[in-house]
Amino acid sequence: MTVLVHLTDLHIGPAGSRPSGVDTAASLARVAAAIARLELPVAAIVLSGDLTESGDAESYRRLRGLVDELLVPIGAPVLPVLGNHDDRTSFLRHFLGLESLDPDLPFCTVHDLPHVRIILCDSNVPGRIWGRLGPRQLSWLDEQMASSGGRPNVVVLHHPCVPRAFLGVDDHILRDGDLLAEVVREHDVAAILCGHSHVSTSAVVGGALHVVGPATSYLVDPGQGTVARRYEGSGFGVCTIREGRAIVHPHVLPGGGDELVPQAPVLSSLIA
Ligand SMILES: [Fe+2]
Ligand SMILES: [Fe+2]
C-alpha cells in the first residue's frame, strides 16, 4: 500500500496578501494540520500546480518557508509541478534554489517509490490559462511509464483533461489531453492527479482514473451559474495505491460558507 497526499492550487502570495480574498497561507496551515490528524503513512506529497498566485520571487520564497514549516514535518518528499499561475524561472530560482536549469525546458521529473512511479509533468504555457504537454514531453512520459520496472504509474500535472461538467470554459484545460489519453492507454497508470478547477472532479481518461483535487486555497462550486462561484474552504486528496489500483478520498474542509468576491465572469482567465 502506498499513500500519496495530493495538494493543489495553493495560490500563495507575498506576506500579508489575500489572493482572491483569502489568506492562502492560513489555508495551507489548516490543510497541513488536517493531514497530520489523519495519521497516515504518507509516502509522498504531490503539489499539482498554482503553487503561487503570481509567480513572483517573494511568493516562492514564502512558499519555501511554508513547505519547510508545514509539510516537510509530515516526513515525506514534497513533489511540485507548475500551474498557469506559476513562473518557471522564478520557481526554479526561488523555490528550488536552482540557477542552472534551462527555464525554457519543461520542469518534469520522476520520483520512484518502492511500489509506485510518480511522474511529474509540466503543462505550464507562459501567459496562458490553458495547458499543453507538447510532443517531446509526451514522448518522454511514454518512455518513463514504459520503464517503471513493473510499478504502476501516477501522473501529476496541473491542467486536467476534462473541464468542469457544467461551468464549461472547456478551452482552459489541457489542449493535448487526447494525446495524453492515448499514451496513458498504453501503460499501467493507477491515477492521473490534476488541479486547476478548484473543485473535486473525477473522470476516466485513457482508461485510467483521472482526478482533480479540491484546492487548498479556495473552492469553486460545481453549479451551473453564469459566474464561477468561489467559496471559502480548502481541500486535499488522499490517493492510496493498493494492488495497483488507486483509491482516492477527496477531503474538504468547509469554510464559513461565504462566497468570495470579486466573482469571476465565466470566460475570465481568473477562475483557476
Ligand atoms: Fe490553474
Ligand atoms: Fe488555481
DSSP state string for 110-160: EEE-SS-EEEE-----TT-SSB--HHHHHHHHHHHHHTSTTPPEEEE-SS-
- CA 268, 194, 198, 161 torsion-angle sign: positive
Q: Is residue 10 part of a domain?
A: yes
pLDDT computed for residue 272 by the predictor: 60
- Enter the DSSP assignment of 69: I
End-to-end CA distance of the chain: 32
pLDDT computed for residue 270 by the predictor: 45
Distance (Å) from CA 149 to ligand 1 centroid: 32
Q: Is residue 40 part of a domain?
A: yes
Q: Is residue 71 part of a domain?
A: yes
How many angstroms separate the CA atoms of 267 and 251, rounded? 28
Distance (Å) from CA 162 to ligand 1 centroid: 13
Inter-residue contact 217 to 11 (CB < 8 Å): yes
Residues 231-244: pLDDT tens digits?
889 999 999 999 99
Distance (Å) from CA 243 to ligand 2 centroid: 32
How many angstroms separate the CA atoms of 127 and 124, rounded? 9
CA dihedral 16→19→21→22, nearest 10 degrees, is -70
Which domain does 31 fall in, by range? 2-265
| Ligand at shortest distance from the CA of 213 | 2
Q: Is residue 22 part of a domain?
A: yes
pLDDT string in tens for the chain (272-residue length): 999 999 999 999 999 999 988 999 999 999 999 999 999 999 999 999 999 999 999 999 999 999 999 999 999 999 999 999 999 999 999 999 998 778 788 999 999 999 999 999 999 999 999 999 999 999 999 999 999 999 999 999 999 999 887 766 677 899 999 999 999 999 999 999 999 999 999 999 999 999 999 999 999 888 776 667 888 899 999 999 999 999 999 999 988 667 776 544 444 444 46
In 3D space, the residue among 21, 8, 45, 6 whose CA is nearest the CA of residue 196 turns out to be: 8
CATH number at residue 51: 3.60.21.10
Distance (Å) from CA 161 to ligand 1 centroid: 13
Distance (Å) from CA 88 to ligand 2 centroid: 16
pLDDT computed for residue 93 by the predictor: 95
pLDDT computed for residue 103 by the predictor: 78
CA-CA distances (angstroms) from residue 131 to 120, 150, 257? 14, 29, 30
Q: Is residue 15 part of a domain?
A: yes
Distance (Å) from CA 9 to ligand 1 centroid: 7
pTM: 0.94
| Ligand at shortest distance from the CA of 83 | 1
pLDDT computed for residue 267 by the predictor: 41
Distance (Å) from CA 71 to ligand 2 centroid: 19
Distance (Å) from CA 174 to ligand 2 centroid: 14
Q: Is residue 272 part of a domain?
A: no
| Ligand at shortest distance from the CA of 269 | 1
pLDDT computed for residue 50 by the predictor: 98
Distance (Å) from CA 151 to ligand 2 centroid: 30
Distance (Å) from CA 215 to ligand 1 centroid: 10
The number of folded domains in the chain is: 1
| Ligand at shortest distance from the CA of 199 | 2
- CA 67, 97, 59, 271 torsion-angle sign: negative
Q: Is residue 16 part of a domain?
A: yes
| Ligand at shortest distance from the CA of 20 | 2
Q: Is residue 271 part of a domain?
A: no
